[in-house]
Structure formats: C-alpha cells, structure tokens
Amino acid sequence: MSPRSPSTLRIGTLLGVAGLGIALLTCPFPVGASNDLHIEITKKGLGKEVVITKGTREWFMLIEVTPENSVILRQEKERDLYLVDESETHDRPMTTSEVDAAITDYVNSVKTRATKE
C-alpha cells in the first residue's frame, strides 16, 4: 500500500464533500411545518417542485425551466378531487432567483390560506 500525497487526500476530500452536497440538493427535504403543513421542495433540473400537504389536502407547484421557456403548473386537491389545475407558459427561461421567489410566494400563499381554513 503506497502512501498518498497530501494534495491527493485534499482533492479526494473535496470531491467527497461536493458529491454529498449535490446529493443533498437533489433529494426532497422538508422545509418546515406550520400548523400541520408538511412542505417538501425538490430541485428539478433548472426549476423546482413544491408539495405541501395538510391532512387530505394537497398543494403542488412545478416550475420547469428550459433554454426556450418556463412552464408553471399549479394543482390543489382535496383527496382525489382537483380544486385547482392550471398551467402557464412563459416565453423565456426564468432565472434561479425568479424560480426561488415564485416558490417562496406560493408557499407563503398556501400557508396564509391554510391557516384561515
């Protein structure tokens, strides 16, 4: 077994940390619970997806970004009944900050509406 040089060990450690970071970014994660809301945000390519649940109620938003455009899907359902099922297409790709802002606004909107019910 040959000893490894310090630079090889540093590079290996950095690659391991970077790989772990990428793996964590691609996994769904709960953002927080407010009044029994379960919120998961997942990175999807250049866009994101959020699923919010409270009991039998579910809210869903997907922002899909391509080099040509952006598509936003919103759904809200109670058990198997869709209350909202809408989409919109933008003729340009959304920036990362626009995607983040749209997701944050949607989550805050759902939190506000869910607490009023």
pTM for this entry = 0.69
Q: If pLDDT is split at 50, 70 and 90, which confidence band does 115 have?
A: confident
The string over 72-90, giving b where at least 16 C-beta atoms fall within 10 Å of a residue's C-beta and e elsewhere, is beebbeeeeeeeeeeeeee
Is the predicted pLDDT of residue 23 greater than 60, yes or no? no
- Sheet holding 38-44: strands in order across? 29-30, 38-44, 47-54, 57-65, 70-78, 81-90
Q: Measuring CA to CA, which residue among 96, 103, 45 is closest to residue 74?
A: 103
